[in-house]
Amino acid sequence: MKRLRHGLHRAWEWLRVRALFEHGRELELMHRAMGFATLALVTLAPLLIVVAAADPLVRGGFASWLTDGMGLSGRSAHVLTDVISPPRKVIGTTSVWSAVLLAAFGVAFGGSVQNAYERIWGLASGPWHRVWRQATWLVVLTVYLYQEVTTKTALHGGQRIMLSAVSGVLFFWWGQRFLLGGQVRWRALLPGALATVVGLVGLRAFSYLVFTPLIVTNALSYGAVGTVLVVESWLIGVGFVIYGGAIFGRWFTEHHWMPSHHDAEPDGAHVDGPHADELHADEPDERAPGDDGDRRL
């Protein structure tokens, strides 16, 4: 028994799982996930509703996007569609000023995700005039979600699963790299992207088993508010997976992925950890002349 306990202790020390939980606690992962869900519902969802309503190829509007993401079907999908579906004239009643505000709110959501990634990797917050990164990330996010919905009818079975997995890994791999301004190496970000996609697959299965009957029950008990609460709970899970995947990626990179040699750290980048100097990109500084206080692109 003593040798078994000693072996388990050595395995625990080798895995360094305690460091993973410490990273999550320092970031306040659950609070971040709740903030992600709130911003997604308040700032991102209205923008996606307008985008989905303008799409002539996919019927059902934003409700079809949401039911597909949550893995709903049957009665639960109908209940959610009845609550979420916007009026048919949503495009005609959306003014230019409203569209600008929706885009600005969406960019604010991208800024929140960028800030979380910077906290996870121990980087300083970027200056406000790098908002174009958040806007670009938002556009690519919309394209990624759109292709996820359109492939629902175009592809089936293994083909769609493969496409969703590959596109998901590429998006979350590129998304971290882009929002962090290239300050962390590609290979250091890959484990986090893989962990995020695996987590989203697990969340989809959980949603199918738990949220599918829960939506119907809440709709009968609390009406539309109960349905929205289930959607908000699912968004909290999405935020937890996205940020938790990035935390797992940094932890895995520092303790099990990066080689033992050390490279020079570029100016302006700082990451704490056993292999901190190996996590940064070894690219030339791209700052413009006279922009000494700015971060690298």
Backbone angles phi, psi at 189, to 5 degrees: -90, -15
pLDDT tens for the chain, 297 residues: list them: 666 665 555 555 555 667 777 777 887 889 999 999 999 988 888 878 777 777 655 566 677 778 888 888 888 888 888 777 665 555 555 556 666 777 788 888 999 999 999 999 988 887 766 788 999 999 999 889 888 888 777 667 778 889 899 999 999 999 999 999 889 999 999 999 999 999 999 999 999 889 888 888 888 888 888 888 999 999 999 999 999 999 999 988 887 766 443 333 343 444 454 445 556 555 444 444 444 434 433
- Sequence-distant (≥ 6) Cβ neighbours of residue 181 within 8 angstroms: 126, 130, 133, 295, 296, 297
- For 129-152, the pLDDT digits (tens) are 678 899 999 999 988 988 888 877
Rounded to whole angstroms, the Cα distance separating 61 from 50 reads 9
Q: Taking each helix axis from N to C terminus, what angle separates 131-154 and 45-53, rounded to the nearest 10 degrees? A: 50
Locate tokens 């938790």: which residue?
Answer: 244
Domain ranges of the chain: 26-255
pLDDT for the residue 180: 92
Residue 68: burial class (beta carbons within 10 Å; 0-12, 13-18, 19+): buried
pLDDT for the residue 179: 93
Strand, helix or coil for residue 40: helix
Q: Which amino acid is at 207?
A: S
- For 97-128, the pLDDT digits (tens) are 666 777 788 888 999 999 999 999 988 887 76
pLDDT for the residue 278: 54
Extract the tokens encoding 123: 């980087």
What's the whole-model pTM score?
0.78
pLDDT for the residue 264: 34
